[in-house]
C-alpha cells in the first residue's frame, strides 16, 4: 500500500513512522509513506496556503488551490488514490473503516490546520472525511498518523499474527480481556489461575467472559450496540 500525506508540517511525521511496526512495514515494502509539503503546491512568491475566512470571524482557513494542486499532481505522478480529508466533521475511524481502507492500493491524506479547510475540498476533492474522535486537535497530522497506524495493522504480513487485529478490542464490538505475564505473583497480586492451567478451552472461555464483563462495566454503549445492533448511550 502507498500513502501520500499532504501537510504544512512534514517534520511531524519522521519519527513516528520510524519505529516498531510502522518502520518494519515500510522496510519490508508492505507500506510506503511519502509526506509532502503543501507549500510546494502553493503559487506566488510567498506560497500562501491560508487566508482569513469569508464572512469574518477569527483564525485562518486553508485555501483550496494548493490542496487541489497537490492531490492532482500526486494522482498524476503516483496514480489515483482514495482521497481522505482528516476532519472533526468526518465519520469516526473504526476497525471496519481501517480494514476497508487497508484494501486500497493508494491513499492520499489531507491534513488541515487553523480553523480548518475550505469546504470545497470536502465537497469536490475528498472521497471521504475521517475523524479520529470527538475532540479537536490543532491539526490533521496526528490524526493522519493514527489512521496510518490503524490501517497498517490490517495489511497482510504487517503483524506477526495475521488474526491479531480481528481479536483486538472493538473488532467484535467488545473490549479485549486483560493480559498478564511473568511473574505469576507480583507484590501479592496473583495472575488468574485459569491462565496457568494449560487448558486452552478454559482460557478461551475465560477471555470471552472477561471481555463481556469489562465491556459491560466500562463501555455499556458497546455492549448494547452488539446485543441490539443499535447504538447505545455512553
Ligand atoms: C483546529 S482543527 C479545526 C477545527 C474546526 N474549527 C472545527 O471546529 O471543527 C484543524 C485541523 O485539525 C484536524 N483535526 C482536528 N481534530 C480532528 C479530529 N478529531 N479528527 C480528524 N482531524 C482533526 C483537521 O484536519 C482540521 O482541519
The alpha carbon of 108 and the centre of ligand 1 are apart by a number of angstroms equal to 17
Pairing verdict, β 50-51 and 61-62: antiparallel
- Which atom from ligand 1 is nearest to the alpha carbon of 111? 25
Element containing residue 89 per DSSP (H, E)? strand 82-92
Atom 6 in ligand 1: residue holding the nearest Cα: 115
What pLDDT is recorded for position 230? 82
Q: Are 79 and 32 in contact (CB under 8 A)?
A: no
- Which atom from ligand 1 is nearest to the alpha carbon of 133? 19
What is d(CA 41, CA 37) in angstroms, rounded to the nearest whole number?
8
Atom 15 in ligand 1: residue holding the nearest Cα: 137
The alpha carbon of 109 and the centre of ligand 1 are apart by a number of angstroms equal to 13
Question: What domains sit in the chain, N to C, each tagged with a CATH number?
Answer: 2-152 (3.40.1280.10), 169-228 (1.10.1270.20)
Q: Best of 61, 84, 86, 145 to mutate for ligand 1, by most ligand atoms within 8 A of CB?
A: 86
* 99-140 confidence digits (pLDDT tens): 999 999 999 999 999 999 999 999 999 999 999 999 999 999
Catalytic residues: 88, 115, 153, 168
* Joined grid coordinates for residue 143: 490524526
The alpha carbon of 116 and the centre of ligand 1 are apart by a number of angstroms equal to 6
The alpha carbon of 30 and the centre of ligand 1 are apart by a number of angstroms equal to 29
Q: Best of 87, 97, 147 to mutate for ligand 1, by most ligand atoms within 8 A of CB?
A: 87
| Ligand 1 residue neighbourhood (C-beta within 6 Å) | 86-89, 111-113, 115-117, 131-133, 135-140, 143
What pLDDT is recorded for position 166? 82
Which stretches of the chain drop beneath a pLDDT of 50? Answer: none
Nearest alpha carbon to residue 21 among 188, 228, 164: 164
* pTM of this prediction exceeds 0.85: yes
Pairing verdict, β 185-186 and 189-190: antiparallel
What pLDDT is recorded for position 162? 84
- Which atom from ligand 1 is nearest to the alpha carbon of 59? 6
What is the number of other CB atoms lying within 10 angstroms of the CB of residue 159?
17
Nearest alpha carbon to residue 130 among 94, 92, 83, 82: 92
Q: Are 60 and 115 in contact (CB under 8 A)?
A: yes
Amino acid at each position: 500500500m502507498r500513502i501520500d500525506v499532504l501537510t504544512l508540517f512534514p517534520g511531524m511525521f519522521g519519527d513516528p513512522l520510524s519505529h516498531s511496526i510502522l518502520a518494519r512495514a515500510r522496510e519490508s515494502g508492505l507500506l510506503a509513506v511519502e509526506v509532502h509539503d503543501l507549500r510546494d503546491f502553493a503559487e506566488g512568491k510567498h506560497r500562501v496556503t491560508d487566508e482569513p475566512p469569508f464572512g469574518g470571524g477569527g483564525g485562518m482557513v486553508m485555501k483550496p488551490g494548493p490542496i487541489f494542486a497537490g492531490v492532482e499532481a500526486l494522482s498524476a505522478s503516483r496514480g489515483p488514490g482514495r482521497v481522505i480529508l482528516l476532519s472533526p466533521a468526518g465519520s469516526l475511524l473504526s476497525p471496519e473503516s481501517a480494514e476497508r481502507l487497508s484494501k486500497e492500493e493508494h491513499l492520499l491524506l489531507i491534513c488541515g490546520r487553523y480553523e480548518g479547510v475550505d469546504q470545497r475540498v470536502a465537497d469536490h476533492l475528498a472521497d471521504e472525511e475521517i475523524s479520529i474522535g470527538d475532540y479537536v486537535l490543532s491539526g490533521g497530522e496526528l490524526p493522519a498518523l493514527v489512521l496510518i497506524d490503524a490501517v497498517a495493522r490490517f495489511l497482510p504480513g504487517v503483524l506477526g499474527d495475521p488474526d491479531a487485529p480481528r481479536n483486538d478490542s472493538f473488532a467484535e464490538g467488545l473490549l479485549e480481556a486483560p493480559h498478564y505475564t511473568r511473574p505469576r505473583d507480583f507484590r501479592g497480586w496473583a495472575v488468574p489461575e485459569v491462565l496457568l492451567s494449560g487448558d486452552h478451552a478454559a482460557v478461551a472461555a475465560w477471555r470471552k467472559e472477561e471481555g463481556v464483563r469489562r465491556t459491560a462495566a466500562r463501555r455499556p454503549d458497546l455492549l448494547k450496540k452488539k446485543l441490539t445492533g443499535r447504538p447505545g448511550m455512553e
